[in-house]
Structure 1
Amino acid sequence: MPILAPMAPRHLSQALTLQSQVYPPFLVEPEAAFASRLAVAAPYSLVATRGEALVAYLLAHGWPQGAPPPVGAVLDPAVRGDALFLHDLAVSPAARGSGVGRALVDHAIARAAADGLRRAELIAVEGAASFWAGLGFAPGKVSPALAAKVAGYGSSAQWMVRSI
């Protein structure tokens, strides 16, 4: 199993490379947007490494419930939230099937629970809803405003929630 650690600015270059390898171009975020999530997400964003190589990452941060940021948005680091928003999970092809994705999510949820957050939210993209369902997430209630935000993540995107 790879080693899990908090994501730090030194991981940014490798994380951006992994992001571009595993996501379609319309979901690849510019460096400024990705880095802003690190500033907001400090205790919940994690990496998995083997030696010096980053093999997976999770961008997750506290955010206002039911209000996911748009793809590519630069986040305000002063925003605090009442929910854990799992923004992005990327696992390299070499690490798929190893359980590292689940380990990253479990670790972030445990940290959020310790901080008093009681709800986790995400937008499942590119057919990943079944993966997230296996981690306890289920389709959430979607208002028209939320539906418009979710649509920005692709035609197959799905809003999912779970209790922490």
Structure 2
Amino acid sequence: MTTHRPIAETDWPRILDIQRECYAQHFRESLEALKSRWAFSPDTCLVAEGPSGIIGYALSHPWRQGHAPALGIPLDEGISPDLLYIHDVAVSKGARGSGAASLLVRALTACAVANGLNRMALTSVQKSAPFWTRHGFTPAAVDDALESYGDDAVYMVSPLPV
């Protein structure tokens, strides 16, 4: 059975392993950049666990509609959030197809609703838009350039029940 819980300090080595396994080199971020998302919003940063340990993770944080924080840059706190931004959902190759990614998305949705937010956003990379479309996300206008996300990046938004 796969479960989820908030990220703990001891989880970072495994999170970095999964990041290396799942993302092309130019998408890999430093521990400092990843931890800045966790420090900004620890309740919306999760790991998925299976019988053998951590099999996936999700990093998200409150943010602004139409803005995508640049990859690799630690977050600053000078914002007025109006949505939950999903920075990263990654599942180890050995756990693909287990439902762990969908479990994490459902958990993030519950976090957003519990925090009174009525939508989520993300930037789809590595041709992941079909996965996000299945979870209710649609392409939307973005105020920021998406250069750090690559040529196939798609900013996407999902409304949530209020």
Between the two proteins, the alignment pairs up a number of residues equal to 160
Q: Write out aligned runs for 1:52-131 (5 A).
A: 53-77=53-77, 79=79, 81-131=81-131
**What code does the residue aligned with 1:155 have?**
D
**What code does the residue aligned with 1:12 have?**
W
Give the superposition deviation at 1:50: 2.4
Give the superposition deviation at 1:51: 4.2
Query: Any idea what the Cα deviations from partners look like across 1:31-81, whole Å, max 9, x if unmatched?
Result: 100111110121111101124621000001111222221000111356552
Question: Where does residue 156 of structure 2 map in the other structure?
Answer: 160
- SS, match of residue 43 in structure 1: helix
- Higher mean displacement: 121-130 or 66-75: 66-75
Following the alignment from structure 2 to structure 1, what is the Cα–Cα distance between the partners of residues 39 and 116?
20
Asked whether the equivalents of residues 124 and 160 of structure 1 are also in contact (C-alpha less than 8 Å), the reply is: yes
Asked whether the equivalents of residues 71 and 149 of structure 2 are also in contact (C-alpha less than 8 Å), the reply is: yes
**What code does the residue aligned with 1:68 have?**
A
> Percent of pairs identical after alignment?
37
Asked whether the equivalents of residues 14 and 54 of structure 1 are also in contact (C-alpha less than 8 Å), the reply is: yes
Asked whether the equivalents of residues 8 and 38 of structure 1 are also in contact (C-alpha less than 8 Å), the reply is: no
Give the superposition deviation at 1:96: 0.7
Question: Where does residue 30 of structure 2 map in the other structure?
Answer: 30
Supply the RMSD in Å over aligned alpha carbons. Answer: 1.5
* 4+ residue segments displaced more than 3 Å: 77-80
Q: TM-score when scaled to structure 1? A: 0.91
Following the alignment from structure 2 to structure 1, what is the Cα–Cα distance between the partners of residues 60 and 90?
12
**What code does the residue aligned with 2:44 have?**
Y
Following the alignment from structure 1 to structure 2, what is the Cα–Cα distance between the partners of residues 51 and 14?
15
Following the alignment from structure 1 to structure 2, what is the Cα–Cα distance between the partners of residues 39 and 64?
18
Following the alignment from structure 1 to structure 2, what is the Cα–Cα distance between the partners of residues 98 and 80?
36
- SS, match of residue 156 in structure 2: strand
